[in-house]
């Protein structure tokens, strides 16, 4: 029995929230209260500074829940999570609405000199307005993604203030749990996905909903009261931990993770994922974070151990989780640009245009150059490309520099003869 099991039991008694939301919210709670006191030792992450504040990979996670209003129970689960965070330390909760300036000012005030870290969390049960503003040109939120991305990575962040000049957000640690309806997908721009900001989120998109469950008009069971009390006590101990604990995968866990990392690498090298490549490529890193959280969740009590082994079961479970995450992401991108029967004529026009461009350029072009000539959103471009690849109207080759070149069938046959 783990603290995640206790959380699941409690949530199952009080609501019909989907299992995916329950597990994710449990991971979010553990992630939030770990702070910078748990880190995974990864050689490439070790700082080159003389006095590094980060020895390894931090365990902060960002989640976005996407489901229909009311029947998705987004607000139910988020309110319960917010209650837990509030009881452990309400000071961690950032305002629901913010600007890049206001959030950095808030984070400056979050710094705790005793623990030498800046821990904060953003919880919002309706985030569509945030992503809509983020995608607008010349919006007051245009720099928010850059600011939040730097904070996510845990690096010190410098800001300019009118009164005090340059100031530094020291050792930031930010977790996020936000939600909205699936329609919010239309605000996820190509740059958000292709350039990495959205890749920091774990999207959970519900496509199936529970059967109606009548409301219960009675108090919480004794068993759930005990479990809820234990969850809060356990999280408080996690939050108050003073010593840094390094999480290190054991030999079997390392082997499993490396196999998965190579699988992702090989898939990227043999498939054209378009703007989704960055998200897919980050799955092994996310799996490592989640494996660390699964390992911590199995601790019965929180101690000041300097080292804990991540075991094979933690890594395998995390890989299963991120594989589901990839499915959710693909469903999300399909919702952004749904190729419906009503758009077939438009798609045929795009195919003809793309074919004409390639014919004028010896039958082949690099991906980036073809996209520039098509003058369209990258996701729409990817949908057209995939349609042509599936129907044999187009072929692709991975170049020596790692890029992708598209070929019309006749040009591709000539390429194959020469190679």
Domain definitions of the chain by residue range: 3-336, 341-418
Quick one: which H or E segment has residue 4?
A: helix 3-14
What's the pLDDT at 339? 42
Query: How many H helices and E strands in the chain?
Result: 16, 12
Q: Considering only the top CATH level, what class is 341-418?
A: mainly alpha
| Interval 319-342: pLDDT, tens | 999 999 999 998 887 776 554 444
SS3 of the chain: helix, strand, coil, percent, to 5: 55, 15, 30
Residue 345 is predicted with a pLDDT of 57
Predicted local confidence at residue 251, as pLDDT: 95
Residues 242-261: pLDDT tens digits? Answer: 889 999 999 999 999 999 99
| Pairwise CA distance, residues 406 & 384, whole Å | 12
pLDDT value of position 123: 95
pLDDT at 341: 44
Residue identified by tokens 């599936």 is 390
* pLDDT in the model for residue 184: 86
Is this model's pTM higher than 0.85 or not?
no
Helix (H, G, I), strand (E, B) or coil at 167: strand
Low-confidence ranges of the chain (pLDDT < 70): 43, 45-55, 137, 140, 161-165, 336-345
């Amino acid at each position: 029995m783990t603290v995640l099991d206790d959380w699941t039991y409690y949530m199952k008694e009080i609501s019909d929230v989907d299992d995916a939301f329950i597990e994710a919210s449990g991971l979010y709670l553990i992630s939030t209260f770990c702070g910078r006191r748990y880190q995974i030792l990864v050689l490439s992450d070790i700082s080159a500074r003389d006095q590094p504040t980060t020895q390894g990979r931090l365990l902060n996670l960002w989640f976005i829940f996407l489901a229909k209003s009311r029947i998705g129970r987004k607000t139910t689960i988020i309110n319960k999570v917010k209650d837990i965070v509030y009881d452990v330390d309400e000071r961690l909760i950032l305002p629901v609405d913010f600007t890049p300036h206001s959030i950095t000012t808030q984070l400056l005030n979050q710094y705790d000199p005793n623990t030498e870290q800046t821990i904060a969390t953003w919880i919002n049960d309706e985030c569509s307005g945030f992503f809509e503003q983020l995608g607008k040109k010349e919006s007051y939120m245009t720099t928010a993604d850059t600011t939040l991305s730097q904070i996510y990575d845990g690096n010190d962040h410098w800001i300019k203030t009118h009164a005090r000049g340059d100031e530094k957000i020291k050792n930031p640690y930010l977790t996020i749990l936000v939600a909205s309806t699936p329609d919010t997908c239309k605000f996820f721009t190509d740059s958000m996905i292709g350039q990495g900001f959205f890749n920091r989120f774990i999207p959970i998109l519900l496509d199936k909903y529970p059967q109606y469950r009548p409301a219960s008009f009675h108090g919480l069971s004794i068993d759930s009261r005990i479990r809820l009390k234990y969850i809060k006590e356990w999280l408080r101990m996690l939050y108050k931990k003073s010593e840094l604990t390094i999480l290190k995968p054991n030999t079997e866990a390392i082997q499993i993770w490396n196999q998965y990392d190579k699988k992702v690498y090989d898939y990227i090298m043999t498939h054209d994922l378009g703007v989704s490549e960055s998200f897919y490529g980050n799955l092994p890193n996310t799996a490592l974070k989640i494996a660390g959280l699964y390992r911590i969740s199995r601790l019965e009590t929180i101690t000041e151990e300097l080292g804990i082994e991540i075991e094979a079961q933690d890594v395998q479970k995390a890989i299963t989780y991120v594989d589901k995450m990839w499915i959710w992401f693909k469903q999300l991108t399909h919702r952004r640009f749904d190729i419906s029967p009503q758009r077939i004529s438009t798609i045929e026009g795009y195919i003809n245009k793309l074919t004409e461009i390639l014919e004028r350029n010896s039958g082949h072009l690099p991906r980036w150059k073809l996209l520039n000539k098509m003058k369209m959103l990258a996701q729409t471009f990817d949908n057209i490309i995939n349609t042509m690849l599936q129907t044999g109207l187009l072929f692709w080759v991975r170049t020596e520099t790692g890029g992708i070149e598209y070929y019309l069938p006749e040009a591709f046959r000539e390429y194959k003869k020469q190679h």
